[in-house]
Structure 1
Amino acid sequence: MAGQRQVQRQNGVALWRQIADRVRTSIDNGEYDHSGMIPPELVLAEQFGVNRHTVRSALAALGQEGIVRAVQGRGTLIERRQRLNFPISKRTRFTAGIGGQGRELQGLLLSFDTEPASETIATHLCLATGTPVIKLEALRKVDGVPVSRSTSWFPGDRFAGIADAYRRSESITKAFAELGLADYIRTSTEISATHAEPSEITDLELSPGAIVLVTKALNTDLDGVPVQYAITRFPADRVHFTIEN
């Protein structure tokens, strides 16, 4: 666990958050399975080169996520080891996919705009280059923890009110339904992995060097007409994918 010691100071990310990310990753990797407990605060403080108060803040954050629980007289017990499972199928839906894995699901609208479709976006949405499209930026959280950061494009003439509908419902599926699209299907999903960019580190509350899983997905209506092209980034230490037929 030598890599755990490499917390970076003065990089814009709080030390306690970096430590929380590293402890969470160690839990996911099964590094504490022999005991079922997080190492004592003093041990972690020495490993990371910080004071015990900083470690305590990191463990408190993990406690709020439901990952660990302080047990008087014993230490810090691991409550949840597994990452959230996000199934990818013909009908991929964030809310249905995460389901009962979290107590509270949030969809936050970060920004939206109408812009001319680039050649790439136009190709995916089967539009002429320069056709107006709506670009929507959103952040999804589970129990207060960011789990995805998405950029989506929609045909502007068909979904002119989708930003307001999403803000109200916090759901793309519900926003589609409000605008008259009752059902849609996932026709393609590309998955890759990369290091998080600075903006993703901020929005997803990651530490520098964190890995994100990136999906590029196309959804169409039941007639095969494209309705959404989306690029979404998921923290690799919080989410894993299951590909379903």
Structure 2
Amino acid sequence: MRIDVLSLFPDMFAPLSQSIIGKALERDLMQFNVVDFRQYSHDKHNHVDDTPYGGGAGMLLKPEPIFEAMDDLTAAHPGPKRVILLDPAGRKFDHVAAKELAQEDHLVFICGHYEGYDERIRTLVTDEFSIGDFVLTGGELPAMMMIDATVRFLPGVLGNEESAATDSFEDGLLNYPEYTRPASYRGMDVPAVLQNGNHQLIAEWRLKESLRRTLQRRPDLLADLPLDSTAQKLLAAVRREERTQVAPDEPDIN
């Protein structure tokens, strides 16, 4: 996969040379490049923004720098590509979107700044994404998050290919609690079922605890999630257990 980013602040992407993505770059599992589209400005002050027609607060990114940067990028790397605009009005980025983008050969991210974009820039774009219902000062941080989430699905990037398959959201549920040694620490013990070597019981416990955590923290995920008969029975058991939990004693305020 090749990933290009159009940004006014290319130095912000230095963290992507570290950790798992850094190793993927070293092993040529992906290519990564940041284009400073300020290079394509048309005046001596390197302006890439201007006031909006019709008035209004803030400034808009001008079309020329983005279009010309894309022209050069397309000339150097012809072929199909997904061009992604980071925008609060875009589709919410999630686990499914990351897996979808990981199937592409070439991704291009356009990082905005200021109040917004000249509308004509959207004609270059195949996808618009948002990472949540809030506004940041620019698209660099969302782009980095999306790249990190996407690259994890590229073959060979993770040391253990099962890691991505057991992530939260992979099956629509949050991940189950996990433990490592020591078996007992400061009065907290690893559940006995995880130490007995019975893989069937361990798998059942993990599914049940995934259902429990999802019910407690993200019940919305369960609304339309297709569950097999085993998962349905475990979820019913979790619901009963949650309903019958004894409430903590009221504090004595006398």
TM-score by length of 1: 0.25
Which one has the bigger strand percentage? Answer: 1
Between Structure 1 and Structure 2, whose CA radius of gyration is higher?
2
